[in-house]
Amino acid sequence: MADGFLFIDKPRGPSSFAVVSAVRRAFHVKRVGHGGTLDPSASGLLVVALGSATRLLPYAPLEPKGYSFGIRFGEQTDTLDSAGTVIKNGGSVPSRQVLLATLPSFCGRLMQVPPEYSAVKVSGIRAYHVARSGRVPIMRPRPITIHALHLVKYDELFGEAQLEVTCSGGTYVRSLARDIAEALGTCGYALFVRRTALGPFHVDKAIKIDICDIAKTPLVPSGDVLRGMSRIAVGEEQKQRLIAGGNLPFTEAPGGGALPVATTLAIDRDNNIIAVLEPSAAGYFHPARVFSTRLCDSLHKRS
């Protein structure tokens, strides 16, 4: 059974679902998931979990997210990227100075309207299904956070800018490109979008599925991905109790009963992850996720 993570540099073209399907076939494993969807026209870092590791995806440190993206000013497409049909043109091209002066206004906590062609559900239906049917989905603004936004280079002659952004989950870079253009009194779309980072993980360390035999790629152990989480070592009796769904009093954990405040991993003597523990105000850890099969904590303990 394959358990662990893959860090994949997704090329433009295939959907995130197609990449997951390719991994499922290569490893002959049914349970495969990913953290953070990339549009087919986007490239970059995609974190894929296999087997029991899929249950750890909610705890993986996949924020903030980093992207490199381009904006073409003067035109807008229906999908807000280069894969769409041009629906507006003739817009002005801003000067470099005006563009630089506008970018700081997009840093901080903002309300953003997702693209009409997106996986956001509108009355239970994916927005892109509504848009493709010829109707206009009602897209409501959602809170996002832009931590940093920088101009990398700008070709004013062609009206094309390259930028880098660090942002929260739920941010649509295509919408950001649209909004920057609108703030400059023109229109624009995302010429390209490439995800460069998810939390501490960078695309430079990812594998390229178009040139690699995925099945021969070593999986990254779950403990390496969750290296920043607190953890406690448990004995055999405690291990069996947790596997059965029982609670672990704080007084039995290393530290002598100090009140924990964070989600914690329970590790057995063989350095395997036994459970994800949530602290309770009642004075015990509750096993939110339990792993009765071997789920290695460290690369050095892999078999």
Percent of the chain at pLDDT exceeding 70: 93
Catalytic residue among 39, 81, 179, 297: 39
Q: Is 39 a catalytic residue?
A: yes
Residue 292's pLDDT band (boundaries 50, 70, 90)? confident
CB neighbours of residue 250 within 10 Å: 18
Which structural domain, as residue segments, surrounds residue 148? 65-198
The answer for residues whose C-beta is within 8 angstroms of residue 73's C-beta and 6 or more apart is 91, 92, 93, 94, 159, 160, 161, 181, 184, 186, 187, 188
- Judged against a pLDDT cut of 50, whether residue 299 lies above it is answered with no
Rounded distance between C-alpha atoms, residue 35 and residue 53, angstroms: 12
Specify burial of residue 255 (Cβ count, 10 A radius: 0-12, 13-18, 19+): exposed
Rounded to an integer, the average pLDDT of 229-250 is 92
Domain CATH for 47: 3.30.2350.10
Four-CA torsion 224, 17, 51, 266, nearest 10 degrees: 40
Rounded distance between C-alpha atoms, residue 87 and residue 267, angstroms: 56
Residue 14's pLDDT band (boundaries 50, 70, 90)? very high
The tens digit of pLDDT for each residue in 75-115 reads 999 999 999 999 999 999 999 999 999 999 999 999 999 99
Same-domain status, 216 and 185: no
Same-domain status, 116 and 133: yes
The tens digit of pLDDT for each residue in 112-131 reads 999 988 778 877 888 778 77
The tens digit of pLDDT for each residue in 158-201 reads 999 999 999 999 999 999 999 999 999 999 999 999 999 999 99
Helix (H) or strand (E) holding 180: helix 173-183
The tens digit of pLDDT for each residue in 129-158 reads 877 888 888 889 999 999 999 999 999 999
Rounded distance between C-alpha atoms, residue 195 and residue 184, angstroms: 25
Instruction: Quote the pTM value.
Output: 0.90
Same-domain status, 178 and 207: no
Same-domain status, 76 and 183: yes
Same-domain status, 90 and 192: yes
What sign for the dihedral angle of Cα 218, 219, 220, 222?
negative
- Judged against a pLDDT cut of 50, whether residue 18 lies above it is answered with yes
What are 182's two structure tokens? 């609108």
